Structure 1
Amino acid sequence: MAPSDTYALDTTWWMVLKDLGIVAADVLRRAGLSEDLPRLPSVRLLPDEYHRFWNGMEAESGDALLPLRVCEAIRSEAFSPALFAALCSPNFITAVRRIAQYKRLIAPMRLEVSEGHDGMTLELLWTCASRPPDSLVLMELLFFVSLARMGTREAVRPVAVTTTALPSPIAPYEAFLGTSLKRGGRYQLVFDAADATRPFLTSNARMWETFEPHLRQQLAELDGAVTTSQRVRAALLEGIPSGRVSIEAIAGKLAMSKRTLQRRIESEGASYQQLLAETREALAHHYLRKTALPLAEIAFLLGFDEPNSFFRAFRAWTGGTPEEARHAR
């Protein structure tokens, strides 16, 4: 799948959820997404999944002011590619233009920036067929105001803010913006010329030059490094001690059907039973070498109904017995 079809889910979201007191696993379950996403080094979502993730956040928070809360929770010390790139900029207009260069890689939207004598206009254009959640659009609009304030350490206020649907209640949002929200046919922010060129106190040209090549590579890469087999092994490490080792249980945890999971594993030259056996064997060696647990308890932790089943499986794996492996350590 091409980069234009999927979008990187910024790892900053997990910190924001934590700060807001929202359980990430509950959001992912509600959105129908895999529970292991926070543990993956890179996550890319389809537009519909991106919107479902936000809707899951909103439902779990139960807060009509969620867009405002998210912008308040995003801090300059949080490592976000978009935020880091912007805050290294010499001024607000440069920050916005940098975000516009790769925003389409991390969200199903495009940012158009126009600059004139009177100021700067930002327009958010959604690039997917489905309509984005109104509150998600509002959060994106608020983000650029927060960005200006973080970089300049000044109470920057937009001249005008337009969106297609006004929030309720509206007063807290207008108090945050310092201006009124207008309803229209576009998603737009307008800043005066002085604020557009206002210097960023966070400017760091040397850091940007060092970091930019790596940032571009990260944003352009698809999530091809983590295979389905690796995700299954990680899910089994959590599920085996609790006895949740069926393919149906693991498929559910990874938010895919049993048939899809089997097809993806087989395309990687493996089988579910093979992955289960390999994971059990690795856990068995860990328990035997690193703990003094009785063999019967190890058998239980590996999901076997009784010790003899564990002994037979271990001999099939290694050609020896658990006792021999423990003494050989």
Structure 2
Amino acid sequence: MSRSPTDFEERVYAPQRITAIVATLAEDGVSPAHVLAGSGLDEAAPVTRVSYAQVATVLHNALRLAPDPAFALRAGARMHLTQYGIYGYALLSSRTYAQLLEFSVKYRRVIGPMTSMAYDAEHNPAICSFEPLLSLDPCDPLYRIALEFTYAAHLTLCRDVLGPTFNLTAVHVTYPAPAHANAYATLLQCPTVQFAQSANELHFDPAWAGCIPQLQDGITHEMARQSCQQFLDELTHISGTAALVRRALADQMPWRFPKIEAMALELALEPRTLRRKLEAQGTSYRQILADVRRGLAIEYLRKTRMTTEEIASRLGYSDAANFRHAFARWTGKTPHAYRLI
């Protein structure tokens, strides 16, 4: 179930995640050309910028080709600090581990992450939570491998900054235990791994929150922070029309579902021009609106006690039956069956 980032098609992010996936499958005898098939990328012609769309294509290929179901955990473990560029320097020079985590949350978009991240230093100083960006559905393999990659990458990065003694105390995921569940404890070096939980979380000893990275430096951190902020500012300008529509819908929903004419007016475009621009990006206003509705529906079913009727009303459906039909079309399940997973 897709949850496309607003800049899904824009080639603005570093390719290290794709590189890590390709290298991991190459170890298992899978040709890089097969892993990159359909992505527009070629191992013989290295690129410095890729899009979320290309990452998603590579991940789908890897899911189909990988002989080792734990490949995403292994690939994430390759993500050392030096592979994050200026963002990595900002983390390395952080004053404390807590500051590192707070920076990670605020500037995470710089690295084109597979998951969003949350950290509450005041109320939960020993927990980081994550949500995959390319899928909302815990039963979707893309959701699982995005989380596996992120968890392993987070562990590697923390050890690069804080030293090899850093360990996780617990790993929580929202999906049921996969066939390779035993690999989590081994590759994440954490004996407490719990599946089918209410949230995706990494737990660590709270004493680490105040730990000072060995190479902390206030001036370097501020210089790196400014560079990351500049990149985020530039992203706002380069995102395409589809990104602008998604962002506008996200700001207005739920409750308000503007027709394309109203959206065009908000973006200072003629409706015909808006349609043409979206078609050039391989999408349509109707498709984007459905994607946003689908995302909200899954969030409500997973994280609230709202009834099907209440969700249908909030998403602008005339009745619950229409919503149920739409949800079954999106997921292959009824809202009731989805909630029982």
Shared topology, TM-score over 0.5? yes
The structure number with the bigger radius of gyration is 1
2:15 counterpart letter in structure 1: T
| Residue correspondence of structure 1 range 1-329 to structure 2 within 5 A | 4-6=6-8, 8-13=12-17, 15-17=19-21, 19-20=23-24, 21=26, 23-29=31-37, 32-35=38-41, 39-46=46-53, 50-104=55-109, 106-107=112-113, 109-116=115-122, 119-127=125-133, 130-131=136-137, 132-165=142-175, 166-175=177-186, 176-183=188-195, 184-222=197-235
Distance 1:23-1:199 versus aligned 2 partners, 3 A rule: farther
Distance 1:18-1:34 versus aligned 2 partners, 3 A rule: closer
Pairs aligned (count): 223
In structure 2, the gaps of 5 or more residues are 240-276, 282-341
2:79 counterpart letter in structure 1: I
- 2:339 is aligned to none
**Residue 202 of structure 1, CA deviation:** 3.5
TM-score (norm 2): 0.55
2:189 counterpart letter in structure 1: L
Query: 3-state DSSP class of the match of 2:129?
Result: strand
User: 1-side partners of 2:194 and 2:136: how far apart?
Assistant: 23
User: 2-side partners of 1:124 and 1:143: how far apart?
Assistant: 13
CA contact (8 A) 1:120 1:193 kept: yes
1:63 counterpart letter in structure 2: D
User: 2-side partners of 1:199 and 1:53: how far apart?
Assistant: 37
Moved more, 123-132 or 162-171: 123-132
User: 2-side partners of 1:81 and 1:3: how far apart?
Assistant: 22
User: 1-side partners of 2:150 and 2:119: how far apart?
Assistant: 15
**Residue 150 of structure 1, CA deviation:** 1.4
**Residue 85 of structure 1, CA deviation:** 2.9
- 1:241 is aligned to none
User: 2-side partners of 1:129 and 1:16: how far apart?
Assistant: 20
User: 2-side partners of 1:25 and 1:174: how far apart?
Assistant: 31
User: 2-side partners of 1:36 and 1:57: how far apart?
Assistant: 15
Query: 3-state DSSP class of the match of 1:42?
Result: coil
**Residue 142 of structure 1, CA deviation:** 2.5
Q: CA offsets per residue over residues 184-222 of structure 1, 9 Å max, x none?
A: 121111222112222212324333333332233334434
CA contact (8 A) 2:167 2:190 kept: yes
2:234 counterpart letter in structure 1: E
Q: CA offsets per residue over residues 157-193 of structure 1, 9 Å max, x none?
A: 2222110233432233213332321111211112221
User: 2-side partners of 1:151 and 1:71: how far apart?
Assistant: 16
In structure 1, the gaps of 5 or more residues are 226-259, 265-329
Q: CA offsets per residue over residues 36-88 of structure 1, 9 Å max, x none?
A: 59644432324xx5433323234344222212311332223334454333222
User: 2-side partners of 1:34 and 1:111: how far apart?
Assistant: 29
**Residue 15 of structure 1, CA deviation:** 4.2
Query: 3-state DSSP class of the match of 1:177?
Result: coil
User: 2-side partners of 1:121 and 1:71: how far apart?
Assistant: 19
1:59 counterpart letter in structure 2: R
CA contact (8 A) 1:117 1:193 kept: no
